[in-house]
Every structure is written in C-alpha cells, then in structure tokens.
Amino acid sequence: MSERKYWFVPFSGEGWQAFFDAGGHSLVFGGQSARRSADVRPGDYLLCGLMGIARFVGVLNVLDVKRDDRLADLQSGRCRLTLKPLIQLTAETGLPAVELKSRLGCFHASGHPHGWMECFWRAFIPWAARDGEKVVAALLKVRQHPVKRPLGGGALSARPQACDAAGRLVTTVHAGGACVAAVPFTAAGDPGPVEGRQRLVQAFFLKLGRALGFDTWIPARNRQCKVGGRPLGMWPGVRSGLQLAVPGMARRVLENMDVLWLENRQAQAAFAIEGNGTVLAALQDIADFLVLQPDTCIPFYLVAPDGRRPDVIRQINRAAFAPLPLPPAIACRFISFRAIYRTISRLREEMPRLTPTILLEISESCEPAEAV
C-alpha cells in the first residue's frame, strides 16, 4: 500500500458548514485545484482549515477520486472526491495555526516568517507526512477537550476563491497564459521624484496582483493619479468599492494601504509604499490592525528605497511593538525599490507561471536577528 499523503484544503466558515449540511461526503472542484490535486489518491488525508481566521477545523479521508480527463480546458475540468470525515470541529473550537507554527516543518520551509501563511492561501498544497501526522494528532486532542475561542469580527465569512456556496471547491484560472505588460520602469536607475516612484511601484503591484488572479484596491487619494496616461483607479482589476470581512477600525487600516490584493472579501496581501513618509506612518496603523485581528494571516509589505531600509527596520522593531502577540517585525516584510527594478525583466517572461510566493523571493525579513 502506498504511503498516505496529506493535503491542505481551505474553506470559508460558511463553506465548511455547507459542506456538512450537504452530507459531508463529496467535494467537486476544478481549475488550478484540479491540476494541483493530480496526485491525490484514496487513503490520503485532507487537512481542512478556515482561511479567514487561520484555524484547522477537520480531517477528511479520501475514499475515491474521479476525474474528467476528456475536458482539455483547465477551467472546465472537474474532479470529484468521495470523502469520510474523520475529525470535524467548529470555527470556535478550531485549532489556531499559530499554535502549531513552531512544530511544523512546512511552516518554516521557505526560511522566512510568512512561510506558514502560504498554507492557508490555496487548495491542495501537499504536506510532509510528519507534519500531517502532527496536525491530525493535535486535532484529535482538541476534539477530546474542545475549547471555544472568540472569533475576530467578520473574518469567519471570508471565502477563499476555491470554495463556492455549497462547499464545493471551484477555482478559476485567472492568469494562465496571459502576459501582463510591464510597468514602464527604467531598469538602470531612478524613475523620478519620490512621488513618481511611488506611483510606478503602486502600478507594478496592481499589475502583478492582477496577473496572479487577484482583484486589487488603491485608496481614494491615489485613484486619479496617472501612470501611462491612465488613472490608477481605472486600471483592470481595480475595485471601485471595498467590502472586507473585518470590523470597522481594522477595515479602515486596510482601506488606507497603498495597494491591496483581494479574493472576494478577504485581503491576501497589503502594501505600504514609501512616499512622503507613508511607510513609517503606516506602521502604527498596522500595529493597531494586529491588535484588533490577532489571528490574521494577511501579510503586510513595506516598500521603500534602499536608503530607507535601516530606518524602516529600526522603526518596526521599536520596543513599543514588542508586547504584541504578533509584532509588526514578524507580520511585515521589507521590499526595496531596487529589488523591484531587478525583477521587472524576469517578470516579463515568467508572469504566466508566477505564484504569490514571488513576494517572498523579492522581500526580506524585518526581524532584528535576520535584518542584517
């Protein structure tokens, strides 16, 4: 008998409940999820988590796998899994992922603090057997001795794109094969004054987010700013309104970020871009957000010229932030303008094959032990 494999599958709170209301024995999905699940076999375990609040809530045993290989179109292809629930927890009794962060190798495989967040972004991420066994063992203990934990605002209603209202996983391929035009940086140097650089970097993250299949958002103060002769607020994929599954004050922090990447009502990444001191001003807001939403799995990125790096690192490691359950130095990463300039030519060729992990490649840790 082949060795059991473990796979992570994200749900929204509503989708998790709807899955069991429908019997809890079948999942149907397509798109990129169908491609990533090509190696799923009977006997494998699905580790289930709620993406909006980053909690493990169950384990499903795969009994049967049926695929429609006749459909060449990846967006139309479908896969059906017949399942047996082994562990079922509620959102309130679910196990926060941060409690297992130090024990799971997959959370540290990338070598940076945000590596564990990738596990809650996309369906059918394969896990090492030793990590899967640790999650199953931990969830069995939680089932025996459940503890209710408060939920953070409206985060429970956050829905990963891979889950529809009936609890079925249906992921659409947004960027497959579509190359996005490069932002007009000059690779050899400084594209202009600070404000001009900020707008170009803002445009870069709008284009990159769109290429990865995300909707995007920029605040009202920047929507009429033009790059390439077109207002940023009119660029493809930029939302005209913002609905987020977080309460009022935390939502306002996200609304004021220079760029957001979004799936449905869930922010997937937030960027504060240097321009007249906006990065340092954003740090206090980010700290407030981390207090209001301690279970967040939203990665924040501070983007600034190379010369500003020491000041950003020093400010983010201020003693005032250290007592927070998730300090900004861990929740945030730094991206230099130069790292973006170096990446432009590579992105032109690799854009169709990119994943959100590109951010982890071009960013660096803000923790004092690593930010040398």
Q: Cα–Cα distance between 32 and 55 in angstroms, integer?
A: 23
pLDDT of 238? 93
Which has the higher per-residue pLDDT, 182 or 272? 272
User: What distance in Å separates the CA atoms of residue 60 and residue 85, rounded to the nearest whole number?
Assistant: 4
Given a cut of 70, whether residue 34 has pLDDT beyond it is: no
Name the pLDDT band for 351 (thresholds 50, 70, 90): low
Residue 19: pLDDT over 50: yes
Q: Per-residue pLDDT averaged across 331-346, rounded?
A: 81
- What pLDDT does residue 294 have? 74
Q: What is the mean pLDDT of residues 343-347?
A: 67
Q: SS3 for 338?
A: helix
pLDDT score of 59:
94
Residue 87, pLDDT > 90, answer: yes
pTM beyond 0.85, yes or no: no
| Contact residues for 171 (Cβ-Cβ < 8 A; gap 6+) | 29, 30, 31, 32, 33, 34, 123, 161, 162
d(CA 61, CA 1): 15
Integer CA distances (angstroms), 272 to 16, 84, 166, 300, in order: 33, 44, 36, 8
Lowest mean pLDDT among 15-19, 46-50, 132-136, 150-154: 150-154
Q: What is the mean pLDDT of residues 274-296?
A: 77
Fold of the domain built from segment(s) 6-157: ph1033 like fold (3.10.590)
Q: What is the pLDDT of residue 46?
A: 93
pLDDT at 77: 54
Q: Is 30's pLDDT higher than 80?
A: no
pLDDT on residue 182: 27
Window from 116-120, 302-306, 326-330 with minimum mean pLDDT:
116-120
β-strand pairing of 259-263 with 55-67: unpaired
Closest residue by Cα to residue 31 from 191, 254, 286, 213: 213
29 to each of 7, 41, 71, 241, 253, how far by Cα in Å? 14, 15, 14, 29, 34
Of the pLDDT bands very low, low, confident and very high (cuts 50, 70, 90), residue 190 is very low
If pLDDT is split at 50, 70 and 90, which confidence band does 42 have?
very high
Taking 80 as the threshold, does the pLDDT of residue 277 lie above it? no
What CA–CA distances, in Å, run from 168 to 19, 38, 78, 118, 171?
7, 17, 11, 21, 10
Token output for 56? 């493990």
CA distance 121 to 369: 27
Give the pLDDT confidence score for residue 120 in this predicted structure: 62
Please name which of 181, 183, 178 lies closest in space to residue 202, comparing C-alpha atoms: 183
Show me where the domains of the chain are located: 6-157, 194-365
Lowest mean pLDDT among 149-153, 182-186, 350-354: 182-186
